[in-house]
Amino acid sequence: MTIDAPAKVNLVLRILGRRSDGFHEIETLMVPLALADEISVTVSEGSGVQLECDDPGVPVDASNLAARAAVVFAERTGRVFRTGIVLKKRIPTGAGLGGGSSDAASVLLALNRLLEAGLDAGALEAMAAELGSDVAFFIQRKAAWCRGRGELIEPVDDVPGLRLLMVKPPFPVPTVWAYKAWSACGGRGIAAAAETLELVNDFEPVVFEKYVLLAVMKDWLGRQEGVEAVMMSGSGSTLFAVLKGAADGIEERIRGEFGPQVWMCRTRTAGNG
């Protein structure tokens, strides 16, 4: 079967402190996007995982979260099968958009259906939590408050639909580095308003101190006609601009200001799953 693996943005991301297990306690409002990778999953006799990807920068070995998801599914269900995965990347890597986590969750969803395992959302979320902190969010694919290290999911229905322009410079921001940098200073993010929402990201002060271009881009985007608010998603490096109008020609202006290597995509939130 073929399944979409949606990206996400963090409309709110608060870091509450470091936990005794080494992870960080967070509180974040995450919303899935129409922007999505495409994953085709097949099962056959045998064992193991074969992964193909159209992005040469994405690993296709056992380190890939999508491949690890197939292994975890087999181990937790006690089933023996061979998994084939073909991944078409549309979500940039190292972007703070959850592409790898969404790919992994989508493999779990596909295998559950293909093998008629009958696992409910709770069982799949528990499996997903073994793979990464935000993988569980992508099981239900609904706007949700995520707490703990990100694995405690509380879906919400009152998030307004937003039209977004995603903007990513040609470099990633390592998430592990971002958490370490935050722990060193314990900074708080700067809030911005969009619709009836307050947008905030506690990573912004520490990330902007090192990656100054992101601060410059956020300021510049916020001054453009048709842009209501700008925020960084996750640990970066993607900024998302909330559009309140057509914002005609903004992509051309971004390329003229910051160069042709900036990745851009217009999309929308898909908070109802």
Cis peptide before 63 (omega within 30 of 0): no
Q: How far apart are CA 179 and CA 206, in angstroms?
A: 9
**Does domain 2-155 sit in CATH 3.30.230.10?**
yes
So what's the pLDDT on residue 194?
Answer: 58
Half-sphere exposure of 161 toward its Cβ, with a 13 Å CA cutoff?
6
- The CATH homologous superfamily to which domain 163-268 belongs is GHMP kinase, C-terminal domain (3.30.70.890)
So what's the pLDDT on residue 273?
Answer: 44
Whether the per-residue pLDDT at 119 is higher than 90: the answer is: yes
Provide mean pLDDT across the span 113-140.
Answer: 94
Across the chain, what does the average pLDDT equal? 91
Provide mean pLDDT across the span 262-270.
Answer: 95
Classify burial at 252, counting beta carbons within 10 Å of its beta carbon; exposed 0-12, middle 13-18, buried 19 or more. Answer: exposed
Domain positions in the chain: 2-155, 163-268
At residue 101, φ and ψ (nearest 5 deg) are -65, -40
Whether the per-residue pLDDT at 10 is higher than 90: the answer is: yes
So what's the pLDDT on residue 189?
Answer: 54
Q: Which residues contact 136 (CB under 8 A, 6 or more apart)?
A: 105, 125, 126, 128, 129, 146, 150, 151, 153
pLDDT in tens, 238-259: 999 999 988 999 999 999 999 9
Whether the per-residue pLDDT at 158 is higher than 90: the answer is: no
Residues involved in catalysis? 8, 134
Whether the per-residue pLDDT at 129 is higher than 70: the answer is: yes
In this structure, of 29-43, 69-83, 165-179, 252-266, the range with the lowest mean pLDDT score is 165-179
pLDDT band at 208 (very low <50, low <70, confident <90, very high): very high
pTM listed for this prediction? 0.91
pLDDT in tens, 23-58: 778 899 999 999 999 999 999 999 999 999 999 999
